[in-house]
């Protein structure tokens, strides 16, 4: 197949994409080789080629502004197509396997090689069930029709109509989240969401929608009341048509998924196995940081019998407050190795290399990270010296107004007010929010916050 580099059209951000190019016809072609022979090798090469094309689309940068008018005219169709592909990939609109074709396999040493092609003429319709969501490419919005119910809420000073409208807005955002997740699932194996294989779609939708519900009004561009009717016990049901800001939903949802899929953790483990665990976590896209608030606590115990040893390995995901989010233990019966100074480390290596064991540990970690997000984020402790507070009794009420804060509990003594709360964002953002929220009750300016281990924020 004749190819042209079209270097002025794109720049590759990853060396793994070195075998992807654009043909003269504007097709994207991945030249892939995998070890082995037969149908299994062909299937693996086809899958790897599709992944490399997706990564190419995500990593390419268009340089149309550096082209002459003559070059622009000659390549405009290709430029437009690449731009469309990248936009669709970023927004999660490749909902099925890419419509690729592949060449006749060729043998190269011990490898089987294919040319995997995404033709410019290929249909790129998402083909997914949009579940009542009308996507608008031009406006970057999604239009949905939803029904909400509400009853008078004196605590929050809401009428039944107000409560029903808020319920409908939340449902509108949730519906868009659900469609987007459904569209994203085809990319979980080849994107930053690789940890979510097997994750329940409805569970993800519920978690994300729960975390976004406080921002529903900001994500809905406009809405129109279509109908309403009375319900029993002074309730009201409303049906609305809502126009949701798709990009805001996608951006916020990605942030939440990132908090589940690739958080920062510190490893608390015996030195003999710590580095092995840290390397394995890094290979899973989980950042290891000794200052993190989230801890992966691991314990290993050698069980010697005759000249061989087996390994009992346990891991616990917890935060610095001591809250536990998941627990996992290995199957110690699957392997025994000869006794020796490196037996413990070698056994850890083997267990993490066994697919069933590695997958079980991944699922345990996923469960822990998901629990953290669903509960409202990690627990933080905020300590405020009494000398800065004119009305310390109002600290809890003011801290509870911080967007995203939950489970706010305060304890005061003669020296300081200590606040425990969950918060879904970064510790630095929480420190800034605390400083802002306390302004009405300060007797003097607060000093710059001291942040300890991303867990404790101190004003003293």
What rounded mean pLDDT belongs to the chain?
Answer: 81
Sheet of 134-136: strands edge to edge?
134-136, 141-150, 235-245, 220-231
Whether the pLDDT of residue 180 is over 90: the answer is no
Q: What is the CATH number of domain 378-459?
A: 3.30.70
What percent of the chain lies above the pLDDT cut of 70? 80
Using pLDDT thresholds of 50, 70 and 90, give the confidence band for residue 91.
Answer: low
Contacts of 274 (CB under 8 A, 6+ apart): 267, 298
Using pLDDT thresholds of 50, 70 and 90, give the confidence band for residue 311.
Answer: very high
3-state helix vs strand vs coil in the chain, percent to 5: 40, 30, 30
187 C-beta neighbours (distance < 10 Å), count: 19
Given this model, what pLDDT does residue 85 score?
Answer: 76
Mean pLDDT of 250-274: 84
Given this model, what pLDDT does residue 253 score?
Answer: 82
Using pLDDT thresholds of 50, 70 and 90, give the confidence band for residue 284.
Answer: confident
Q: How far apart are CA 255 and CA 259, in angstroms?
A: 6
Given this model, what pLDDT does residue 136 score?
Answer: 62
Q: How far apart are CA 6 and CA 24, in angstroms?
A: 9
Mean pLDDT of 301-325: 93
Higher pLDDT, 196 or 166: 166
Q: Which region among 92-106, 147-161, 381-395 has the lowest average model confidence (pLDDT)?
A: 92-106
- Residue 44's φ and ψ, nearest 5 degrees, are -65, -40
Mean pLDDT of 432-455: 93
**Six-digit token pair at 85?**
């592909």
Whether the pLDDT of residue 447 is over 60: the answer is yes
Beta bridge partners of 3: 23
What percent of the chain lies above the pLDDT cut of 90? 37
pTM value is: 0.64
Q: Which region among 164-178, 208-222, 232-246, 386-400 has the lowest average model confidence (pLDDT)?
A: 208-222
Whether the pLDDT of residue 329 is over 90: the answer is yes
Name the helix (H) or strand (E) containing 451.
Answer: strand 450-452
Given this model, what pLDDT does residue 122 score?
Answer: 74
So what's the architecture of 264-374 in CATH? 2-Layer Sandwich (3.30)
Domain boundaries, the chain: 3-118, 134-261, 264-374, 378-459
Given this model, what pLDDT does residue 131 score?
Answer: 63
Contacts of 455 (CB under 8 A, 6+ apart): 293, 319, 320, 321, 378, 379, 380, 381, 427
Given this model, what pLDDT does residue 22 score?
Answer: 83
Q: Residues 21, 25, 27, CA angle at the centre, nearest 5°?
A: 45
pLDDT one-digit tens code per residue, 378-402:
999 999 999 999 999 999 999 998 8
- State which of 143-152, 268-277, 365-374, 383-392 shows the largest mean pLDDT: 383-392
Q: How far apart are CA 150 and CA 153, in angstroms?
A: 9
Using pLDDT thresholds of 50, 70 and 90, give the confidence band for residue 189.
Answer: very low
Higher pLDDT, 260 or 289: 289
Using pLDDT thresholds of 50, 70 and 90, give the confidence band for residue 163.
Answer: very high
Mean pLDDT of 56-69: 54
Q: How far apart are CA 57 and CA 191, in angstroms?
A: 12
Q: Which region among 121-130, 296-305, 337-346, 362-371 has the lowest average model confidence (pLDDT)?
A: 121-130
With CA atoms as reference, report the closest residue to 335 among 323, 343, 327, 324.
343
Is residue 220 within 8 A of residue 228, CB to CB? The reply is no
Given this model, what pLDDT does residue 75 score?
Answer: 67
Q: Residues 57, 63, 69, CA angle at the centre, nearest 5°?
A: 130
Given this model, what pLDDT does residue 283 score?
Answer: 80
Mean pLDDT of 148-176: 91
Given this model, what pLDDT does residue 161 score?
Answer: 95
Q: Which region among 52-61, 141-150, 310-319, 353-362 has the lowest average model confidence (pLDDT)?
A: 52-61
Is residue 200 within 8 A of residue 128, CB to CB? The reply is no
Q: How far apart are CA 7 and CA 23, in angstroms?
A: 12
Using pLDDT thresholds of 50, 70 and 90, give the confidence band for residue 188.
Answer: very low
Using pLDDT thresholds of 50, 70 and 90, give the confidence band for residue 412.
Answer: very high
Contacts of 433 (CB under 8 A, 6+ apart): 402, 403, 405
Mean pLDDT of 33-59: 79
Mean pLDDT of 68-97: 63
Strand ranges, E, within 188-263: 220-231, 235-245
CA 398 to chain CA centroid, Å, is: 30
Q: Give the position of tokens 């101190």.
A: 458
Given this model, what pLDDT does residue 285 score?
Answer: 76
CB half-sphere exposure, 230, CA atoms < 13 A:
3
Mean pLDDT of 118-147: 70
Given this model, what pLDDT does residue 128 score?
Answer: 46
CB half-sphere exposure, 370, CA atoms < 13 A:
17
Given this model, what pLDDT does residue 321 score?
Answer: 92
Mean pLDDT of 243-254: 83
Q: Is the sign of the CA dihedral 203, 207, 208, 209 positive or negative?
A: positive
Q: How far apart are CA 362 and CA 420, in angstroms?
A: 30
> Within 108-200, where are the H helices?
160-184
CA dihedral 358, 359, 365, 370 (to 10 degrees): 170
Mean pLDDT of 224-233: 93
């Amino acid at each position: 197949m004749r190819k042209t580099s079209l270097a002025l059209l794109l720049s590759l951000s990853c060396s793994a994409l070195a075998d992807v190019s654009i043909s003269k016809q504007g097709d994207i072609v991945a030249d892939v080789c995998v070890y082995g022979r037969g149908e299994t090798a062909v299937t693996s090469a086809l899958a790897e080629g599709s992944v490399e094309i997706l990564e190419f689309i995500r990593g390419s940068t268009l340089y149309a502004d550096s082209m002459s008018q003559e070059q622009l005219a000659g390549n405009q169709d290709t430029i437009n197509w690449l731009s469309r592909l990248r936009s669709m990939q970023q927004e999660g609109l490749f909902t099925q396997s890419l419509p690729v074709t592949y060449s006749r396999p060729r043998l190269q040493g011990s490898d089987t090689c294919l040319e995997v092609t995404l033709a410019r003429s290929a249909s790129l319709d998402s083909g997914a069930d949009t579940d009542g969501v009308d996507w608008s490419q031009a406006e970057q919005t999604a239009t949905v029709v939803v029904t909400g119910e509400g009853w008078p809420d004196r605590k929050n000073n809401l009428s039944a109509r107000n409560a029903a409208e808020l319920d409908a807005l939340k449902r509108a955002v949730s519906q868009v989240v659900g469609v987007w997740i459904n569209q994203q699932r085809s990319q979980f194996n080849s994107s930053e969401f690789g940890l979510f294989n097997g994750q329940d779609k409805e569970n993800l939708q519920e978690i994300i929608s729960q975390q976004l519900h406080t921002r529903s009004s900001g994500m809905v561009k406009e809405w129109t009341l279509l109908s309403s009717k009375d319900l029993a016990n002074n309730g009201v049901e409303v049906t609305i048509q809502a126009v949701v800001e798709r990009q805001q939903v996608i951006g916020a949802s990605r942030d939440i998924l990132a908090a589940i899929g690739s958080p920062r953790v510190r490893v608390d483990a015996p030195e003999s196995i710590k580095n092995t665990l840290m390397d394995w976590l890094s290979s899973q896209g989980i950042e290891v940081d000794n200052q993190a608030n989230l801890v992966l606590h691991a314990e290993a115990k050698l069980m010697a019998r005759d000249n061989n040893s087996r390994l009992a390995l346990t891991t616990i995901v917890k935060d610095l407050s001591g809250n536990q989010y998941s627990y996992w233990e290995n199957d110690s019966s699957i392997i025994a190795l000869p006794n020796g100074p490196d037996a413990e480390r070698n056994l850890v290596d083997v267990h993490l290399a066994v697919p069933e064991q590695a997958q079980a540990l991944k699922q345990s970690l996923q469960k822990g990270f998901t629990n953290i997000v669903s509960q409202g984020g990690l627990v933080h402790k905020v300590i405020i010296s009494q000398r800065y507070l004119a009305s310390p009794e109002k600290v809890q009420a003011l801290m509870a107004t911080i967007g995203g804060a939950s489970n706010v509990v305060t304890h005061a003594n003669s020296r300081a007010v200590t606040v425990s709360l969950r918060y879904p964002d970064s510790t630095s953002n929480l420190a800034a929010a605390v400083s802002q929220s306390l302004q009405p009750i300060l007797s003097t300016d607060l000093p710059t916050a001291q942040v300890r281990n991303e867990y404790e924020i101190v004003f003293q």
